[in-house]
Structure 1
Amino acid sequence: MIRYRALVPEDAEAVARIEAESFPTPWSREDFWREASNDFACYIVVLDEADIIGFGGCWISFEEAQVTNIALTAVQRGRGLGKALMTRLMCAAAARGAARMTLEVRPSNASARRLYEELGFAPIGVRKKYYQDNDEDAILMWHTRLKEFADEQTDARD
């Protein structure tokens, strides 16, 4: 059974393993342990029974949320869990006062770009040589109607 909940410090090791599996320059266990206690951070983990199979997070400052990372274990990708996780993260950020959300995505990550566009993100620029592992650019994307998006999700559940 799939469920979602907020990240707690005890999740740091499992989340760091997923991060290492997913990204060429991963955050450490200590990074996630700190994020779990950061008042400006909002992280959600995805569980299958008791096992953490994914996570997503953002930093919230004033009315803006910046997605820091989102990942699922390799075997869980392609099942729609990323969209469900991102939707929950967007709603959680809106509930904490964010009106807008931004993120960076690799041009080579077509599936992530499609997902973000489906959720209402629009490309607005490029950050040159953003990714340290290969100097790949990043596409900067914004969602400027986060509260309306969250309201629509609530209405759809009712």
Structure 2
Amino acid sequence: MSVERGRLTGELLGEKVVLRPTVEGDAEILGRIVREPEVAAWWSPPKDYGRMLAVLAGGEVVGAIRFHEETDPEFRHAGTDVFLAARHHGKGLGTDAVRTLARRLVRERGHHRLVIDPAAANEAAIRSYVKVGFRPVGVLRAYWRDHRTGRWEDGLLMDLLARELT
């Protein structure tokens, strides 16, 4: 996989998943997934699926992962986030997707530190990220607005140093 105009091209192969840039038709599938109640509890529908990577398992699009990079040399790091269809929760696919992307961001993009910021109440996601090597750093109070209720909710800031990547 390479970077072309700020976007990854090609595929990343994990142990259980394949990550690839989204293609025409993925937005419809991902839109259905992000509206599932178990996913919508933590994600509002993204405005642009085009800058995400589709997560495939068994050749089927089962979710998406995205990343951002801070390029200022004094603060250089990357962040990521992922969602999967509810029927694929608890199978290790999210953990594999995050680990696969994290390895690429560390090994080929040169990041020494990664961050992720799940909702503080999203215990399943937090357990998954801990398996990759992320550690809680602190609570981000009133960090994200729940699109369903309009209430501000807490987030958990987690980070992973390159040397800790499992």
| Same structural fold, with TM-score higher than 0.5 when normalized by the shorter chain | yes
Taking only the aligned residue pairs, the percentage that are identical comes to 27
Tell me which protein shows more strand as a share of its residues.
2
Q: CA deviation at 1:60?
A: 1.7
**Residues 4-46 of structure 1: CA deviation (Å, up to 9, x unaligned):** 1322342222223222221245234x5112x15xxxxxx3422
TM-score (norm 1): 0.75
- The answer to whether the 8 Å contact 1:127/1:138 transfers is yes
Runs of 4+ in 1 over 4 A off after TM superposition: none
Q: Give the RMSD, CA atoms, in angstroms.
A: 2.1
- The answer to whether the 8 Å contact 2:19/2:97 transfers is no
Runs of 5+ consecutive residues of structure 1 not aligned to the other structure: 37-42, 153-158
Alpha-carbon separation, structure 2, partners of 1:105 and 1:3:
21
TM-score (norm 2): 0.72
Residue correspondence of structure 1 range 3-152 to structure 2 within 5 A:
3-10=17-24, 11-21=26-36, 22-24=39-41, 25-28=43-46, 30-33=47-50, 35-36=51-52, 43-49=53-59, 51-62=60-71, 63-67=76-80, 69-94=81-106, 95-133=108-146, 134-145=151-162, 149=165
Tell me which protein shows more helix as a share of its residues.
1
